[in-house]
Structure 1
Amino acid sequence: MDKKEFYREIVMQASALCDGEPNRIANLANISAILFDRLEDINWAGFYLMADNLAGDGKELVLGPFQGKPACVRIPVGRGVCGTAVAENKTQLVEDVHAFEGHIACDAASNSEVVVPIEVNGQVVAVLDIDSPSLARFDQEDASGLELLVDMIQTNW
């Protein structure tokens, strides 16, 4: 099966699981489980959600539902791959996270990453983050497929 069809299947499976369920956390938990189960050669799949920072003077990403090893809990906007995705409101496709300026090493085993911002009403509300222990694990087809999944998530936010 080609990647396009593979990601269409993931979107259909996620959509079916989320259909009629209003609890966002439950839906994101199931989506992260689907991704962790179906994607090969990954070591983390999940979400970071926008929230007030601890100082109360801005926003940051806070760990949401995920599958994998324990992760960083708070990520400032503009820092690391996830924070950059928020600051630029753009998918980040990183072949080698160790070469990414400002990378935050939550798991030293991660070598490549793809992060897709989730936007609602013109504001980034969360990011989908997937890590792999392999260099250059993700390509543009993966990014496009995950953007389709994020489209479904945004529609049901």
Structure 2
Amino acid sequence: MYDFKPDPGLDTAERYRQLSDAADALTAGEPDPVANMANVAALIWEFLPGLNWAGFYRMGKSASGADELVLGPFVGRPACIRIPLGQGVCGVAASTRETQLVEDVHAFPGHIACDAASRSELVVPVVRDGETIAVIDLDSPEPARFTNKDASGLEKLARLLSARI
């Protein structure tokens, strides 16, 4: 049995170090990307306070064959199932392959509101061989919940996962 419960007093860098270590332990040697995304979404939920959604969107195809993001494993309220590339915070992160740290989602042009309670968002692309294969998406009901330290920690996690999802 796994019991990954971080100390609530951890500083951000140590919290992300422990999160990455736990993700490494759970995903090492497991070839199924859905299982790995599901476990990591649960870990993120346990390790990071102040979230109302944590999970993955993975690259897929629309009915017309265009690349788009498709909902993957997550923890939180039901979410948008498909997101076109370049649209919303997730679609921009996927298409630019750049982390999107948004202090106020209502000020983000083209924000897609899956949960009206969300106020800030952090989306990190997971890139393999120069191509986006997924994004890690964190939402919070707190304005400006995420910092550059959160972005850096999640980017390290994305690099670890790039060969495991």
Q: Which TM-score applies when normalising by structure 1?
A: 0.97
After superposition, residues 3-82 of structure 1 pair within 5 angstroms as 3-56=12-65, 58-82=66-90
Where has structure 1 moved over 3 Å in runs of 4 or more? Answer: none
Amino acid at match of 1:118: V
Question: In structure 1, how many angstroms separate the alpha carbons of the residues matched to 2:111 and 2:63?
Answer: 21
Q: Deviations over 1:70-103 (max 9, x none)?
A: 0000000000000000121100000000000000
Question: In structure 2, how many angstroms separate the alpha carbons of the residues matched to 1:4 and 1:92?
Answer: 19
Question: In structure 2, how many angstroms separate the alpha carbons of the residues matched to 1:155 and 1:8?
Answer: 19
CA-based RMSD of the aligned residues comes to 0.8
Whether the 8 Å contact between 2:53 and 2:140 is mirrored in structure 1 is: yes
State percent identity of aligned pairs. 54
Q: Which residue of 1 aligns with 2:123?
A: 115
Q: Which residue of 2 aligns with 1:136?
A: 144
Report how many residues are paired: 156
Amino acid at match of 1:16: A
Whether the 8 Å contact between 2:69 and 2:134 is mirrored in structure 1 is: yes
Q: Deviations over 1:37-93 (max 9, x none)?
A: 22101000000001111222x100000000000000000000000000012110000
Q: Which runs of 5+ in 2 are unaligned?
A: 1-9
Question: In structure 1, how many angstroms separate the alpha carbons of the residues matched to 2:39 and 2:143?
Answer: 27
